[in-house]
Amino acid sequence: MEPITPTLRSIVLVPGYWLGGWAWDAVAADLRDRGHRVIAVTLPGLDPDDLHRASRSLADQVDSLRSAVSAAGVDGSSVVLVVHSGAGFPSSVLLDQDPTAVARIIYVDSGPSTDGSAFDASLPHDQREVVLPPFEQLAASLDGLSVEDLELFRRRAVPEPGTVMRAPVHLKNESRRHVPSTIIACSYPSEVMMQMAREGNPMMAEVATLRYLELVDLPTGHWPMWSRPADLAVAIADAAGR
């Protein structure tokens, strides 16, 4: 572990679908040991104790992110927003509404959303929530996850609100593309990701529009907060310090 040094960075960690702030426990502890202030967010709809969680919306998640970022920077410190997987959708809306909200955004095996895109627009409108699918049906790499990791994931996963998964994002502020950005590529190399972006792949097309982009390769599966937590913490701390 590196020595703790004073910092004015506050880091907000946001997990992807089915997960709460608990998913970042190992990474958050490492970052705090390095001197960072860390807030791990559980987005609306993913708190198992929320009786109305299935009706929470994408707009609710955006509001929650705004509140977390505001709280993190209350003393004037700069805020770095770290988003994993599907958390890229509400973060894209937040930066569209306020590009000055954070000093940097770090996408962990994720990326910015394109105007009009949705995670699953085909999801039936009467489906209130989506449970974590069987692992063999997940369209994401499980590389590096132990049996214990998978058991924890399955035990603590919370169904994602259907309203969130099918909601399209509406983006119009070009300044969102000027926010300094880091992508930590895990499931596939950054070189492949950028090729997809240049070819206009819907999942990565927006990446090609980012003005200040840094790429970091961290080869592993889609959940590096469990498969390579120490290395992920180093990558986040390095990017946050820029």
Query: What pLDDT digit, counting tens, does each position of 168-198 carry?
Result: 999 999 999 999 999 999 999 999 999 999 9
162: closest CA among 50, 23, 58, 48? Answer: 58
In this predicted structure, the answer to whether residue 88 has a pLDDT above a threshold of 80 is yes
Nearest-5° Cα angle at 151, 30 to 13: 35
Amino acid at 176: R
Q: What is the pTM of this model?
A: 0.95
The pLDDT value given to residue 44: 98
Asked if the model's pLDDT at residue 148 lies above 50, the reply is yes
Q: Would you place residue 8 in the very low, low, confident or very high pLDDT band (cuts 50, 70, 90)?
A: low
pLDDT band at 4 (very low <50, low <70, confident <90, very high): very low
User: Residue 162: what pLDDT?
Assistant: 97
Q: Which one has a higher pLDDT value, 76 or 110?
A: 110
Following DSSP, what letter does each residue of 106-175 receive, concatenated? EEES--PPPTT--S-TTS-TT--EEPPPPGGG-SS--TT--HHHHHHHHHH--PEEHHHHHPPP----GG
Q: What does the pLDDT average to over 52-77?
A: 96
Query: May I ask the CATH class of domain 9-240?
Result: alpha beta
* pLDDT score for 202: 87
Q: What is the mean pLDDT of the chain?
A: 95
In the predicted structure, residue 2 carries a pLDDT above the cut 50: no
Pick from 180, 179, 16, 10: which is nearest to 80 by CA? 10
